[in-house]
Amino acid sequence: MTTKSALDEYKDEIEDSDNNVPQPETALTIPSASEAREFSPEQRKALAQLYITQARVNIFQTALSLTAIRNLELFHELGYSGFHECVEQELDMNGRTALEYVNAIESFGLGDRVKQLMEASPKRFLQAAKEVRLKQLEGETLTLSDGTVVSAEEFLEERISTLENSSKKKIKSLETENQTVKAEAELLRKKQANLEKSLQKKDEQIDVLRKSKDIDPDKLLKIKSQREAEKIIDECNVSILDALQRIESIPDESRNGALGIYLSRTIATMEISLKTLKMAWSNHIFQGETQE
């Protein structure tokens, strides 16, 4: 029985790829630099095209293919002078992100557990992998929270789990905050509805007073002035609540730090204006509170 060399296996694989569309679960490996040097220009080009095709299958195949293209310099066979240019044009991927996947494969290998972790959450995987590599470069011992010394792969798994739990807590916190905001918005809507009813009632009262002939003219004028002043305050309340609702309706995706600072200026202006209003009405507010 004749055992095929790595080169023969790759020749068979490349020939198959010329006649068949690669299936999603095609298992690729990365030949060594010495093996790749034995390939003919045509075989290297076919191999490069195979990796580009497989890079579109799933995220693990992407990482594996990127590593092969970069380390074996197969981007030359695809007509590019550099790795970054190749992945940006062929895969619409940022060169820096592509390099992070390559670094992850070189650091943690092609094991099944690495594949599972990467496919479960590519973003968290890259974040955790970067942290692990930095610790290794700085010569730090990789230990879990309980002090247990672990391998790079075990530490990676633990770090991804921590990031995932942190994300879940943040999502839960945001959901709670969202429910609170919705409840407050509903309360504002109810207040606004009540104020609108109050305005309508005052309009009716003023209309009745205008038509009345039995009330002393001075008393009638005083009552009318009181009702009209109350109406002005109620109209301002409606306007304020409407303005607050409009600010609250700004979608989450549009909110950011710069907009938060911009809003804080508005809040500060409102607080100063509110204090000024309270001072101007302080005596009357105090009298009203003592009469209640």
Separation CA 24–CA 14 (nearest Å): 16
34 pLDDT band, cuts 50/70/90, is confident
pLDDT of 12 reads 55
Please report the pLDDT score of residue 169 as a whole number.
72
Least confident range of 38-52, 57-71, 79-93, 272-286: 272-286
Lowest mean pLDDT among 16-25, 83-92, 182-191: 16-25
Cα angle 31-36-42, degrees, rounded to a multiple of 5: 120
Indicate the Cα dihedral angle 250, 253, 257, 261, nearest 10°: -10
pLDDT of 165 strictly over 60: yes
CA dist 125 and 148 (Å) reads: 21
The band of 14, judged by pLDDT with boundaries at 50, 70 and 90, is very low
Whether residue 224 is predicted with pLDDT greater than 70 in this model: the reply is: yes
Residues 97 and 195 placed together within one structural domain of the fold: no
Structure confidence at residue 286 (pLDDT):
58
Summarised one tens digit per residue, pLDDT across range 255-266 is 888 888 888 888
- State how far the Cα of 31 lies from the Cα of 111, in Å rounded to an integer: 16
- The pLDDT > 90 percentage for the chain reads 4
**Which residue do the tokens 């999603």 mark?**
24
Q: Stretch 156-173: mean pLDDT, rounded?
A: 71
Among 98, 119, 140, the domain-final residue is 119
Flag whether 101 is in a domain. Answer: yes
Report the distance separating Cα 200 and Cα 203, nearest Å. 5
DSSP β-bridge partners for residue 149: 143
Residue 24 sits in the same domain as residue 106: yes
Nearest to 69 by CA among 122, 119, 109, 28: 28
pTM of the full predicted structure? 0.43
Secondary structure letter of residue 32 according to DSSP? -
Q: Is residue 257 part of a domain?
A: yes
**Number of domains forming the structure of the chain:** 2
Residues 185 and 108 in one domain: no
- Domain assignment present for residue 222? The answer is yes
Residue 283, both tokens: 């005596």
**Is residue 56 situated within a structural domain?**
yes
Residue 148 lies in a domain: no
In this predicted structure, what is the pLDDT of residue 30? 81
Domain match, 15 and 99 both: yes
Q: What is the mean pLDDT of residues 195-210?
A: 71
Taking 50 as the threshold, does the pLDDT of residue 149 lie above it? Answer: yes
Is the pLDDT score of 19 beyond 60? no
**111 and 21 in one domain?**
yes
**272 located within any domain:** yes
Q: Which amino acid is at 70?
A: R
- The sign of the CA dihedral 68, 70, 73, 76 is positive
Closest C-alpha among 71, 21, 7 to residue 49:
21
Give me the domain span that covers residue 225.
Answer: 181-277
CA 234 to chain CA mean position, Å: 41
- Cα separation, 155 vs 105, in Å, equals 15
pLDDT band at residue 83 using 50, 70 and 90 as cut-offs:
very high
Neighbours of 273 (CB within 10 A): 10
Is 13 a member of any domain? Answer: yes
Q: What is the pLDDT of residue 278?
A: 78
